[in-house]
Each structure stands twice: as C-alpha cells, then as structure tokens.
Amino acid sequence: MSKAGTKAVQTAVMGVTGYAGAELARLLVRHPRFRQTPPVFVGRAETKHAGAHKAQALGEIHPELQDSHGTGSLAVQPFSWELMEDLGVDVLFLATPHELSREMVPQARKRGIQVIDLSGAWRLEEAENRVVYGFEDEGSDEALKTQDEAVYGMPELHRAEIFGAGLIANPGCYATSVILALKPLVAAGLVDLEHGIVADAKSGVSGAGKAPTAKTHYMYAADNLSAYAVFGHRHTGELLEQVGVPAESMIFTPHLLPIPRGILSTIYARFYEPQTNASVEHVYREFFKGSPMVRLYGAHLPQIQYSVRTNYCDLGFQLSKDGRKAVIVSCLDNLLKGAAGQAVQNLNVMQGWGEAEGLE
C-alpha cells in the first residue's frame, strides 16, 4: 500500500506525561519520517481549562528523553484547537483517559484531523460491551457517528481498513495479547467453542497507568500476585468482538505481576479434531504472513523477557498427547505492542509507510 504524494505528516501527542505517552514520544522523535518534522506535544488538560497550563520542556517531564538531538528541549505546550490548526497537525495521538477522548475525537474529526486514540473510548462496536465504561454520551447521534467511523487498530486483523482511516481505536494491551493468540485458530474453525476458552493473563504494574493506587503501591504489588476485575475487565468486550466468540465461550482473568512492564497470557483451548504441531503452526504462519510485529515460536514457549521493550507479540503453543487440547502462550510489552508501539504501527499503516518503520 502507498499513498500518493510526499507531503510531510505533522503529528501531535496529547497525554505525554503518562507511561504510554512517554514511550510514544520516544518512538516518534526517533521515527525516520519525523527527522525534519518532530511531533507537537500538548498538555493533557480538560479542553476548557487547557489554556491555563504553561509550556514545559519534554526533558523536564521525562529526563530520559534528553539526547544530543535536542529532544529534551521540545516544548509540551498548552492545548488549543487554534494551535493544532496553526501548526497544521495532520494526526493527533490521544494518550488520554477515555472520558477526555470521547470529547476530543469528534472535535478533531470535524477539523479533518486524523486521530489515533490509545484509550478505550472508541474500541467497542457493541453497545452491550460499552456499558462497562459508562459513557455519558452513549447513544447520542455524535457518539454513534464517531463510533461508526472508528477502526479497531490491530494491523494484523484490519490492515486494509486502517490505511487512510480517520479514527483508529488503539487496542487494549491484554486484548492484543489474547486476540493475536486466538484469532487464527478460531478463524480456521479449529476451536471447540462449546467446550470454552480460558485466557489467564498477567501484566506488569505499568499496565495500571501512572496514577498511584493502593493496589499498585510497592508494598502491595511487590512479592505478590493477584487476580482482579474477574468477570468484569474492560478488555473482555474487545476479545469477544475481535476473536468472534460468544460471551459464554470465554473466561478472561487478568492478574497483577510484581514487575514494571510486560504481559504473559496463557490461553487454554480444545480443538474439534486432533491437531499436530505442524498443522497448528501452519495456521499461525498463514494468518500472520506479512505481519512483521508477530514472532512465532512454534512449540517453544515465549517469555516476557523476550518481548519486553520491543513492539513484538511473541506466540508459542504446546499440544496434549492426543492433539485435542492446546496451551498457547502470548507475550508482549504492554507499553509498546500493547499501547504506544502499536499506535505507531497503526500510523505507519494509516499513512501507507512500512509497517515496522521506527519500531525495529
């Protein structure tokens, strides 16, 4: 895929203070397409109060981004739509809470700005799955129109729709790990859905965001492993919609790992007919042909340490002796393939660039 013309693309990022926002800034300032046009960084404030915030240097917020190219001196400016228009912003990244994204996206689209939203504001197609977010504008004409435009931003599933899209809803981190592991097998008709699927997922503490809570406090998380949001995690709807299974066929349970970053999901499934390692690997390789950000390990099981600080999702599996049961292990970095890295991957596909540009 390619886009006509060679016009430079001006990006902007709102929400650079968070963990995913910091990774997004790091990736964009080093992206080969933006050497002459660095991204614009704006404060993550409520729009009506945005002008009250003063400009700040990126290096003051994230000292680790200081480098010899002057990255640390890039300004994080107070947000305004006038600023976006004056600077000719083409693509706006929102690393913001879903409530703010619900406000920002329709306004950006009215101005012709493409949006890549890292929140859960526009990921879910079905109203019954969106209930978990409690959106105040649910069912309004504007919300329905915006939702109808949104493309679920997983290139491995929706590459053609992402190209040239106006609004990309970046997937959740847990959802990415489970969907990529399951979709090829379900799409191939191998999985016995009546038997049910269990997805047991574990994430590092950064998956909860930067704002501290009692359960992400060091004294709680260290030397501990805990399940949470059982039968109620916000990413469950994504799994059901994107994998294409009914709610009664899936149990998804997330856990908090005492590590900074990384996800390991262990998925248990039963096949209709006995399979071999070769037949299952063939399904995965055919499905992910042309997908540079998925690494297939076959019967060798991946580990978090293989994928952390990369934009790869690593997949491996093992079968029972009778070939009827499978354990699939999926690993990724929740801040990269699960957030900022996938957002940049979506940008690349949206613009018709190489999918892995700036990510390997």
Q: Are 182 and 191 in contact (CB under 8 A)?
A: yes
Token reading at 103: 């406000």
Q: Catalytic: 313? A: no
Beta bridge partners of residue 76, listed in sequence order: 41, 56
How many Å apart are CA 117 and CA 105, to the nearest integer?
8
How far does Cα 270 stand from its chain's mean position? 27
Q: Which of 157, 173, 280, 329 is catalytic?
A: 173
Q: Are 269 and 328 in contact (CB under 8 A)?
A: yes
Q: Is 254 exposed, middle or buried (0-12, 13-18, 19+ CB in 10 A)?
A: buried
> Which H/E stretch holds residue 253?
strand 250-256
The identity of residue 279, as a single letter, is S
How many Å apart are CA 12 and CA 328, to the nearest integer?
37
Helices (H), 120-213: 127-130, 141-149, 155-162, 173-187
Which amino acids are annotated catalytic? 173
